Amino acid sequence: MLVHGACTGGWIWEKVVPLLQAKGHRTCAPDLPGLGNDRTPPAMVTLADNVEKLSRLLDKMEEPVVLVGHSLGGITISALAEARRRKIKALVYLCALLPTSGKTGKDMSSLEPDTMFRLSREVSPDGLTYTFSRDKLPVLFYADVSPEDRYRAMQRLRPQPISISTTPVTLTEERFGSVSRWYIECTLDKAVRLKLQRLMVKMTPCKVITMECGHSPFFSNPEELVEHLETIAGA
């Protein structure tokens, strides 16, 4: 199960899904509430809504899944592991926010306060959603992505429900802590920079895989990413 990050949708995995399926894996890349093609008003969405939607999908699956979260998706997969640990074979954080118990996504990104990721956010007047400054997007998310993929991605971005970043996540050792954890660090990431990735892994230890790429390896290095996911699935 592939979980997208802020402002995006299940479409970010469009190059990864066919590669995984060609190797015999069943895959699921849902849109989180309010994003992608999900028509829930983003201002209404809570972290609990994300967990509920994905829990319903997990409950239909016969075998435990490898659960991958990109970027802000790390918050949702952490909360989901606490709720449905028996349905998850491994957690994979792909240059993702990796929270400690009681902290929010905003708390984790605040560990490196001057990041372009934080400085580029534009919050809506009602304070319930945010987007990213369009002129910063190419460098922030798509620096090593082809112009065609970058253009198509930027056309599909939607406002992000802010509550996903501002809701504390409660994680216990017996539930979340019992699931195998992997972190795929992306060394050239300008959004969740390598220093922050490594700081979070120090706080919540994971097995680490390194990719020499920016924030969107599903576009820039899909074949390599799939190889790493295969390694994790077989571990």
Residue 155 tokens read as 């056309």
For this structure, is 124 an active site residue?
Answer: no
* Strand ranges, E, within the chain: 2-3, 65-70, 88-94, 121-123, 129-132, 160-161, 180-186, 207-211
DSSP label of 204: S
DSSP label of 84: -
| Among 215, 216, 220, 228, the one annotated catalytic | 215
Q: Which residues pair with 207 in a beta bridge?
A: 182
For this structure, is 38 an active site residue?
Answer: no
Quick check: 47 and 79 in contact, CB under 8 A?
yes
| Among 71, 120, 163, 220, the one annotated catalytic | 71
Residue 197 is inside which H or E element, if any? Answer: helix 194-203
H helix runs in 60-169, sequence order? 73-83, 105-109, 116-119, 137-142, 147-156, 163-166
For this structure, is 71 an active site residue?
Answer: yes
| Among 144, 189, 220, 228, the one annotated catalytic | 189
Catalytic residues: 71, 189, 215
